[in-house]
Amino acid sequence: MSVFALAPYACLPNFGPVSMNILFPLNAARRKQLPAPAEYFVDEEKYFYTLFLHGMICYIFVPILYVNIDSMYACIMHHTVGLVGIVTYRLQYIIDLEVTSYQEYYANNLEIRKRLKRSITLHKEFIEFAEKKETTYSLCFMIVMFVNLFAMIFTAACGYSFRVSRGNKRIMQIMMIRCSQPCQLTAGSLLVLNIENFGAL
């Protein structure tokens, strides 16, 4: 519902000048505003309502697209973790039968074998599911990563190339090289104190 509430939120302020021109006209018409600043390379006054409709569609469907993709990915991840939990639980409690005779020992081993087969089958299905998830989302995430990387590089280039001298750029490069060495807390320079090493201990 919050996604659909975004459309009126973006729509009402932009229709303010339009409604004011109708209710309280001035000698000069108030300037109309699009939902978001953009360059369409056409006359915005002439094609205002068409461009405004395009902006509203983007406001509604782009968030819906992101929400659906992220929600589906979260559900898939929860399902994957759930399968791991089921396999772990079955292996932990695979031996829970009391044995008082050889016949019970033999029957117990048969039951354990059946449980083990079911666990192995579920483990195989989990691996296949995880591989399908990787195949499905790998290309998508790679495209998103490169698009974001290109956007950051383009933004940085546009922001600094024309306003920073070459000497200052070199100084900034020295700072960037120094940033490649992480700042970290150690125990006598022998052990880095972080979550990964804490879990390993």
The tokens for 89 are 């639980």
Q: With 70 as the cut, is the pLDDT of residue 1 above it?
A: no
Between residues 16 and 184, which one has the greater pLDDT? 184
pTM of the full structure: 0.54
Domain ranges of the chain: 1-199
Residue 81 Cα distances to 65, 120, 123, 128, 166, angstroms: 24, 16, 12, 14, 51
Contact 160, 169 (CB under 8 A): yes
Contact 60, 6 (CB under 8 A): yes
Q: What is the pLDDT of residue 10?
A: 66
Number of other CB atoms surrounding residue 12 within 10 Å = 10
Q: What is the pLDDT of residue 14?
A: 67
Closest CA to 133 of 74, 63, 84: 74
The pLDDT tens digits of the residues spanning 61-108 come to: 877 887 888 888 889 889 888 988 988 888 888 776 565 555 666 677
Closest CA to 37 of 8, 21, 58: 58
